[in-house]
Structure 1
Amino acid sequence: MLNVIVASITIICVIIFFVLKYKRPETIWLGISFLAILSGLFLIIILLLLSAEQKSVLIVLSITFVIILSILPLLVVGIFFVNGINLIKKEGARFTNVLSLLMACGLVFYLVIWPRILDITTSHFLNTIYQFVVSTVFYLSFILITYAITNIFNLIHFTHPIVNYYIVLGAGLSGQEVTPLLAGRINRAITLQKKQNTGKIIMSGGKGTDELIAEGEAMTRYAIEQGLDSKLLITENKSKNTSENIKFSKQLVDNDWIGEGQPKLAIVTNNYHVLRALMLARSQGLKCIGFGSKSKFYFSLNAFIREYVAYLKITYKVHTIILSFVAMFYIVLYFVMLIAG
């Protein structure tokens, strides 16, 4: 009976996943539904092994699971630490470049230093604080994982619809030239446009306070140098951020589109940036698909953390409400234990 219930719930999660993938792929519920599917399949395997009395296999799986849980925190800390040092060496010690290193230091403090300097077992108050922090860390980690999974699935396209406009998001200049990171975005859009042999590319980016020309103008010039027909290019040179990239590009699309119905739009940016860009597009009422360009791992990991923080900033009200309820629970629990103790 339990097998049937778990299998039914898993099937429902599969249906939800595919509905979201085609209707609302930019919501993190896509990642949550995928994790639910994996959990359901894992539970089904466990139940089948139990019913078949495969104790030796269960023991091996249990030991493997414990080993993974033991090694994973050390592995994560090591990756963040090495990546942070490498990024600082290559890109400089700006605040935006130390996020992965700060993440590593925070995990070390949380996992190693805090339990050693504070004996939480002798104080209900400290124990309650620690439990709340543990819950918060688990919650934010869960959201981070679902955000990453959702981002990955927004880079995967099961079908290949014809795109009428590719919106390439700007990313800073080096003098009057595009940076290698920005060139990667432009090259990705050019490849996609040539592959389907139709559609226009919008180069979107205004002039920053430290830039000599607008990013959109430099991007257009670079695309022409790569052999793309200027008739296929539209330049947007007023935007200051991702939200304006999308907003002003849509205005140019409305002025240029002469076909029937609504044009199909695609946002082209780096892999780590696709999901948040799609979320911002959805907030403006635009349904877009996303394509990502590759960047070096040491840069991508830090940039992804930055994107995750930006996502939390956008959705802070929801997370604040959830964590407030968690805090209220622990406050009530503390006073109950205080009265009972």
Structure 2
Amino acid sequence: MIAYVVAAVFLALFGAGVLRDRRRFSNAVYLGLAVTFLCLGLLAGLADAPPGVAVTVMVVVLLVLALGPVVLAGLLCANGVTMIRKEGVRPANLLSLLAGLGMFGVMGLMVAAVVSHSKTLSIVVGTLLMIVGYVSFLFLCFIGYAFLYGRMRIRRDADYVVVLGSGLIGGRRVPPLLASRLERARQVYETLAGRREVDRTPVLIVSGGRGPDEELAESHAMADYLLERGFPADRIVREDRSRTTEENMLFSKALMEAERPGAECVIVTNNFHAFRAALMARKAGVNGQVVGSPTAAYFWPSATMREFAAIFLEYRSVNLGICVALVLAGCLAYVVA
């Protein structure tokens, strides 16, 4: 019963947080804690369930706990190989492979600890599992809330649609990833334009400067892409100074504030990037919601882990502090044991 009460409290905090501002990572944590305590309450309630139901549920849970990590690690390694084959060998493309190998490494240490009966190794593995458990919990919170955030409807009319750049092919051509953002931005623009009066038609801002290996600014290539497909030229504004997502936000905000102070916007990026972009928009003071465009399935795992790592480090004082505390707890356990 207590678990259900705690779950209800965290669910209420989650609801209040979403109403106050959707763009908070605390919303993801509240949701994750609510689901966790709800599951604990359901498991505790198995004691009153019919014997057949209780046994079946426990067997399923044990199978998931035993086989789930092995299957997940194998899938991550397979995805890592696919990423290398299709995208090349770059640090960002190795994340899923490294995560899968890391999971196999931890499982190997667990087996070694059991077989060797080593106190030191057992405590090391226990400490490592606590850290992995903490990081995994945050990652699941991130995945769950990012999924929900990406499916929240645009609840307000917006004055602007802002498309974030992502690099060009050959220094001047729009790649499929960026084309997906532009097509999604066109859909959002058309939806908003259908709700507005003629003299308040939204404006589409393409945001992206010129990189060191690019022949022209990303925003110019993005605008050309839209113009070639019949988008009205007088509804496009080019922000061509930014080099990072933070600068996309700040420079686009300056353009919006200069024309329409207090303007609302919808920011368009890819779905794996939407929630972190929303956190960055909130930090930059941009009054807007972020929506995502589709991404190739093979690209999603590594990209999502990269986004989570960036958010984890954004709150590094708290997260690294907790990890250090877990290591100290392991050290204390070693001294006491």
Global fold match (TM > 0.5): yes
Unaligned runs of at least 5 residues, structure 2:
194-200
Partner residue of 2:34? 37
Q: Deviations over 1:42-89 (max 9, x none)?
A: 3454455544x5222111111111111122112211221111111111
- 1:176-195 aligned at under 5 Å gives the runs 176-195=172-191
Partner residue of 2:93? 97
Q: Deviations over 1:16-37 (max 9, x none)?
A: 1221222232323222222333
Distance in 2 between residues matched to 1:190 and 1:19, nearest whole Å = 32
Q: Deviations over 1:82-125 (max 9, x none)?
A: 1111111111122221111111111111112x345667855433
* Structure 1 SS opposite 2:106: helix
Larger deviation: 41-50 or 234-243? Answer: 41-50
Matched, 1:140 2:143: no
User: Would the aligned equivalents of 1:205 and 1:236 in 2 still touch at CA under 8 Å?
Assistant: yes
User: Would the aligned equivalents of 2:146 and 2:274 in 1 still touch at CA under 8 Å?
Assistant: yes
Q: CA deviation at 1:254?
A: 0.8
- 1:1-341 aligned at under 5 Å gives the runs 3=1, 5-46=2-43, 50-51=47-48, 53-112=49-108, 114-115=109-110, 122-158=117-153, 160-175=155-170, 176-197=172-193, 198-257=201-260, 262-337=262-337
User: Would the aligned equivalents of 1:203 and 1:234 in 2 still touch at CA under 8 Å?
Assistant: yes
> Which residue identity does 1:140 align to in structure 2?
V
User: Would the aligned equivalents of 1:193 and 1:199 in 2 still touch at CA under 8 Å?
Assistant: yes
Q: CA deviation at 1:313?
A: 2.4
User: Would the aligned equivalents of 1:25 and 1:150 in 2 still touch at CA under 8 Å?
Assistant: no
User: Would the aligned equivalents of 1:120 and 1:130 in 2 still touch at CA under 8 Å?
Assistant: no
Superposition CA RMSD, Å? 2.0
* Structure 2 SS opposite 1:64: helix
User: Would the aligned equivalents of 2:207 and 2:238 in 1 still touch at CA under 8 Å?
Assistant: yes
Q: CA deviation at 1:153?
A: 2.0
Distance in 1 between residues matched to 2:130 and 2:46, nearest whole Å = 32
* Structure 2 SS opposite 1:173: coil
Q: CA deviation at 1:273?
A: 0.5
* Structure 1 SS opposite 2:292: strand
* Residues 328 and 47 (structure 1), Cα distance of their counterparts in 2 relative to 1, 3 Å cut: closer
* Structure 1 SS opposite 2:128: helix
Q: CA deviation at 1:320?
A: 1.3
Percent of aligned pairs with the same residue?
27
Distance in 1 between residues matched to 2:192 and 2:65, nearest whole Å = 45
Q: CA deviation at 1:158?
A: 4.6
Instruction: Please give the TM-score of this superposition, normalised by the length of structure 2.
Output: 0.91
Q: CA deviation at 1:40?
A: 4.0
Distance in 1 between residues matched to 2:46 and 2:96, nearest whole Å = 40
Q: Deviations over 1:105-164 (max 9, x none)?
A: 11111112x345667855433332222211111111111111111211221215532121
Distance in 1 between residues matched to 2:269 and 2:164, nearest whole Å = 6
Instruction: Please give the TM-score of this superposition, normalised by the length of structure 1.
Output: 0.90
Equivalenced residue count is 329
Distance in 1 between residues matched to 2:24 and 2:78, nearest whole Å = 31
Distance in 2 between residues matched to 1:329 and 1:230, nearest whole Å = 61
Larger deviation: 188-197 or 8-17? Answer: 8-17
Distance in 2 between residues matched to 1:159 and 1:166, nearest whole Å = 12
* Structure 2 SS opposite 1:238: coil
Q: CA deviation at 1:201?
A: 1.3
* Structure 2 SS opposite 1:240: coil
